[in-house]
Structure 1
Amino acid sequence: MNETAKLGKAISVRLPQKDQEEYTELIERAGLTVSESVRSLVQQVLASCRALDLSSMEVRCEFHWRTPDPDHQFPEHVGDLRVTVSPPAGLAEADLARLVFVIPEFFTDQGEPFRIDSFHFHRVSTPRIEISSTRIRRNVLSFRVIEGVWRAGIFDYGTATDRAAMEERIRQDVSTHIARSIACFLLGQLPETRLLTQDEVAGANKRLFPPTRTDAES
């Protein structure tokens, strides 16, 4: 059995040509291969991840279901979700506010049985950062937490999904995504397209919480 087969599936990485050429020249001049270098980088990240202390982190999901009303303007809007994020030691609240998360989607072979969608003030949609669904046109998936909280609506598209099962799936996918995103940030693995600047956070909060007259005069 060759070395590649023993290691498992190969990883493909796309880089700008200039970066690829510079990186390849660096590695090969040291008598290494790009494969050996990438393997070493992955192993270093995993070793650092295993050493992270995330024991104090908590992601708590609260579900608030609506009474069914077929005459409601949006009968598919069946409830709301409130997610409270308590960051782990080593992650400041100001840094948590900068992270851009991505809403999990719940498609099956039969379509989309249910969906969660950020309240508008949690959505991240700027000329620099916007993550949209590849399956639902104009559906923005990127969101941020505000003072450690994210709020979203829950939409059921007539599939009669059991609410307990829906809660469990949403809780599992949302909690895992937020926890893994925080871990990636602490490991330096989140790209710039998943990080707001402090000025961007301040600007978004200013629109959400406009200064009072007293604040303006002080």
Structure 2
Amino acid sequence: MKNKKDSTIRVRISSDTEKKLKDLCKLENDTPSAVVRKLIEEYVEKHPMTNMNLEVKLNISKLPESNPHRWYVFNLEAELVGGYSYLDNEEVTFLLPEFYDNSREPYRVDSVYYHRESFPKCIGKRGRFIGAKLINRKWKGAIYVYHDKLLEQPDRYEVDIKERMKEQIILGVYYFIATKIERENCEEFHQDSN
């Protein structure tokens, strides 16, 4: 079954390339639109980031009874599941989500010290450090809830935190893979040119 064609992408090419494309299409009894569509579909299907089946499992738990901050601070753990096996031994950086409500932060997420990572643009809106890293696919941190009313309704902030953490971690994995592919392509190019 063919996919529904409900979107349009416009590309700019030189007039020489356009003429050659049209000539080749005539020879193969095809249309330029069909050829470009095939190229795009093949690119998407064969790209390493397609169909990785990444999932992020998150677990929220209470601090020990002895901790005086347990009434507003909660443990948060994340684990990356799926994807490529080479992610098993890598440190993958990502940005922690920020949860500002106008000028205030009703709750926030922070990393434990060994899951913090400094890299370009890892400072948040209000100057807070938001650089983080997965180590062997895992991350640990905490949730800080600053509004007492929210503590009575944990679903209001837990759902938001889980969704945003998943987005940020998967975005970090995509960036890591794209950088790895680019690095490998550069190394291959330099080897070929020598």
- Provide the TM-score with structure 2 as the length reference: 0.60
Contact 1:87 1:93 in 2 (8 A): no
Whether 1:48 and 2:37 are equivalent positions in the alignment is: no
Q: CA 1:178–1:65 in structure 2 vs 1: closer, same or farther (change >3 Å)?
A: same
Q: CA 1:158–1:76 in structure 2 vs 1: closer, same or farther (change >3 Å)?
A: farther
Whether 1:86 and 2:109 are equivalent positions in the alignment is: no
Percent same amino acid among aligned pairs?
Answer: 18
The structure with the larger Rg is 2
Q: CA 1:180–1:80 in structure 2 vs 1: closer, same or farther (change >3 Å)?
A: same
Q: CA 1:109–1:92 in structure 2 vs 1: closer, same or farther (change >3 Å)?
A: closer
- Whole-angstrom CA distance in 2 between matches of 1:80 and 1:174: 14
Q: Which residue number in structure 2 is paired with residue 151 of structure 1?
A: 140
- Whole-angstrom CA distance in 1 between matches of 2:83 and 2:100: 31
Q: CA 1:49–1:65 in structure 2 vs 1: closer, same or farther (change >3 Å)?
A: farther
Whether 1:111 and 2:104 are equivalent positions in the alignment is: yes
Contact 2:116 2:133 in 1 (8 A): yes
The correspondence of residues 1-218 of structure 1 with structure 2, limited to 5 A, is 48=44, 52-55=50-53, 57-66=54-63, 72=68, 74=69, 77-89=72-84, 91-94=86-89, 96-97=90-91, 99-109=92-102, 111-125=104-118, 129=120, 131-135=122-126, 137=127, 139-161=128-150, 162-188=153-179
Q: Could you tell me which runs of 5 or more consecutive residues in structure 1 were left unpaired when the two chains were aligned.
A: 1-5, 8-26, 32-42, 193-218
- Whole-angstrom CA distance in 2 between matches of 1:155 and 1:190: 37
Contact 1:113 1:159 in 2 (8 A): no
- Whole-angstrom CA distance in 2 between matches of 1:169 and 1:140: 20
Q: Could you tell me which runs of 5 or more consecutive residues in structure 2 were left unpaired when the two chains were aligned.
A: 1-7, 18-38, 184-194
- Provide the TM-score with structure 1 as the length reference: 0.54
Q: Give, as a single letter, the amino acid of the residue that structure 2 aligns with 1:116.
A: V
Q: Which residue number in structure 1 is paired with residue 22 of structure 2?
A: none
- Whole-angstrom CA distance in 1 between matches of 2:182 and 2:98: 21
- Post-superposition CA distance 1:102-154 (Å, at most 9, x none): 000111125110001000111113xx65611221x3x2101111222101111
Report the 3-state secondary structure (helix = DSSP H, G, I; strand = E; otherwise coil) of the residue aligned with 2:75: strand
- Whole-angstrom CA distance in 1 between matches of 2:104 and 2:168: 22
- Whole-angstrom CA distance in 1 between matches of 2:112 and 2:52: 28
Count of equivalent residues = 151
Report the 3-state secondary structure (helix = DSSP H, G, I; strand = E; otherwise coil) of the residue aligned with 2:134: coil
